[in-house]
Structure 1
């Protein structure tokens, strides 16, 4: 191959990595849109089926129960086979299950459809992380991860904006149709366009070798526990905020707009995290300050009743909370190494998601038991406090951004 052709191929590869990032971003965003299409519908669908608060919250638990089961297998397969088909399947299956939810007739049917949605969506994070690890060099990783980790917040923001509008126009069944079909379409695009990078370093030998690396490395276990703490707070708030706003007397649309603003804060946080890391000196400092600030903001949030003040506080809380996401996952891939990147992300996410599975139900039980949301904010803040303690236990050298 001539030097000119090699340069052209290299230039093409450099350009194509941004297409990979776009597809990874869209994939990750749509898994969040699928899961978070439910919280804005709790005040609408819950009364139709006479769900208790615990039952309504358990639909999120069902999703995350399925979600955690495929984290590790998807990571192992992505490291050995590449991310393409793992990523595509992680969108098509949840989309199909969400589409079918419009036909549910009782709690049990809805619960198991949500479980099946989680099985598919659980493959996306590790496959997307593998794609970024393959296609982006170390000096661009903060930007790439910053973009990718804006997806969860946007995936939370859009349902809170779109669900009330779609529900008002064509009903809650229409919400499930639209979101389900959209997820399937993105999955098909991923299958058509995602490919493995030419310089990919795939794992070989024992397929479970990466698990040994993850579960015997102290720093990775601390990072996993930090992710658990973060997820406890983020998913607890995202699941129950809409119901809290309804209790305050706000309409579903007004409550959804507060969460839209929360999501905007979350969308802006990951892309700006690289700049803040440079200012603070390392990623651990950013994570420490983010957890510290989350604690009082969360508790104060639960005492507010003014719509305007809630909007402002929601933005601040969303921004501070989602600053942690990018640095946390970059640290995980740094410690694990390139060959085990997807396995490490899948394994640590496996641990994170137990919080997402438990937190909504624990909060739902306290609401059922007390009849109020008073304890909700302290339960959520406990996750941030735990994360703050764990940051101080982390001892590692960080690579330059």
Structure 2
């Protein structure tokens, strides 16, 4: 079944690209398209991690227990998981531009109003809505990129995924500072306005595919459901879920662990996590570019990065001084996000361009289940033990599960 599905994807992908395949490689606009989806992903991710940068002080002012500080993050990802399943399929029907716009405009509105949160219940409801609104931005980007990039798809994915790590840098560098000077509500209002504005930009300037290409044949529900039987996609989904369990869990708790365990100020902790993000920004395009080189195994790259991720997490848990955190954080950032472009390229390879939106939606929905659960799991462990070592050990379980899953991915996935 897997082999037949791959062959079908090859055929449909070739038929889609045949009239103007060269344009995907030479058109300067492809970099404009990549920038638009990259910036959309950046703003979406800043919106989702902004709470984590101020969770400890703002949570205390709202009377939220330390064990529940991750509840807002979990609520966001609960909505995000559901929206990925729906949004991935709709992206293949409506196109990347339409779904990008439908994701960003409501996300901007909900982010703006999250600044008015006065209780745990209200905050959870708004974050749930934010996650549901944002759920299609990833699938939209994963639909647009394969349409414009073919031979250098890994590099494009690497650049695209720098948005998430750069978002961590920007959120930690900007949100705590704005919150300290103008109040945390103002920070979320600014983010909401910026997100809404970029939704308008996407609507006006994003193109779904090169002009010389025919519109792709509509995918049937049977074809989309057939992706669920693709062995490679199944294990790539498990691997991504394990990886993001640790990536998002650390993003949600990294600041709070340092501020509560060692009394580090929120501004300094934000600076440390910003250096974590810088490491990721450098690693993503580098690893994506390497994965495009002839003879390089994306599967093996994924396994090695996940192993290093688990080990570096434990090293971070043993740190206790600001200097030590500054040294380890960039390295941890490189490994905690570096596996993503390599996994994403393999997802695209396994499904083909015509089913790129649906495959991205299905796999990312499973990936984000780890994102949804890990903040609460870490909160429960840390709230009960007040041990940073046990907290990061809980996180490290994810990459270990991920690398085991990668062992079952085929050594050779047909590239489209």
Q: Helix, strand or coil: the match of 1:147?
A: helix
Using the TM superposition, give the Cα deviation of residue 275 of structure 1 relative to its aligned residue in structure 2, in angstroms. 4.1
The 8 Å contact of residues 350 and 415 in structure 2, kept in 1 or not, is answered as: no
After superposition, the C-alpha distances for 1:313-350 in whole angstroms (9 at most, x for unaligned) are: 11001112222111101111111111101100000001
- 2:383 is aligned with 1:368: yes
CA distance in structure 2 between the partners assigned to 1:182 and 1:71 by the alignment: 22
After superposition, the C-alpha distances for 1:152-174 in whole angstroms (9 at most, x for unaligned) are: 10111110010121112211111
Partner of residue 85 from structure 2, selected from 43, 59, 72: 72
C-alpha change, 1:254 and 1:240, in structure 2 (3 Å) is: same
CA distance in structure 1 between the partners assigned to 2:219 and 2:158 by the alignment: 32
Mind listing any 5+ residue stretches in structure 1 that lack a counterpart? 1-5
Q: Helix, strand or coil: the match of 1:37?
A: helix
- 2:241 is aligned with 1:228: yes
Partner of residue 47, structure 2? 34
C-alpha change, 1:324 and 1:154, in structure 2 (3 Å) is: same
CA distance in structure 1 between the partners assigned to 2:368 and 2:215 by the alignment: 27
Q: Helix, strand or coil: the match of 2:64?
A: coil
Partner of residue 75 from structure 2, selected from 38, 53, 62: 62
- 2:358 is aligned with 1:343: yes
CA distance in structure 2 between the partners assigned to 1:244 and 1:362 by the alignment: 14
Mind listing any 5+ residue stretches in structure 2 that lack a counterpart? 1-18
Partner of residue 244 from structure 1, selected from 254, 257, 260: 257
Using the TM superposition, give the Cα deviation of residue 91 of structure 1 relative to its aligned residue in structure 2, in angstroms. 1.3
- Count how many residue pairs are aligned between Structure 1 and Structure 2: 393
Partner of residue 307 from structure 2, selected from 270, 273, 292: 292
Partner of residue 216 from structure 1, selected from 225, 229, 251: 229
The 8 Å contact of residues 306 and 403 in structure 2, kept in 1 or not, is answered as: yes
Q: Helix, strand or coil: the match of 1:139?
A: coil
Q: Helix, strand or coil: the match of 1:324?
A: helix
Q: Helix, strand or coil: the match of 1:354?
A: helix
Q: What is the RMSD of the two structures over their aligned residues, measured on CA atoms? A: 2.0
Partner of residue 273 from structure 2, selected from 235, 246, 259: 259
Q: Helix, strand or coil: the match of 2:269?
A: helix
The 8 Å contact of residues 74 and 373 in structure 2, kept in 1 or not, is answered as: yes
The 8 Å contact of residues 201 and 339 in structure 1, kept in 2 or not, is answered as: no
C-alpha change, 1:356 and 1:167, in structure 2 (3 Å) is: same
C-alpha change, 1:314 and 1:212, in structure 2 (3 Å) is: same
Partner of residue 144 from structure 1, selected from 156, 162, 175: 156
* TM-score normalised by L of structure 2: 0.90
Using the TM superposition, give the Cα deviation of residue 211 of structure 1 relative to its aligned residue in structure 2, in angstroms. 2.9
Using the TM superposition, give the Cα deviation of residue 53 of structure 1 relative to its aligned residue in structure 2, in angstroms. 2.2
Partner of residue 196, structure 1? 208
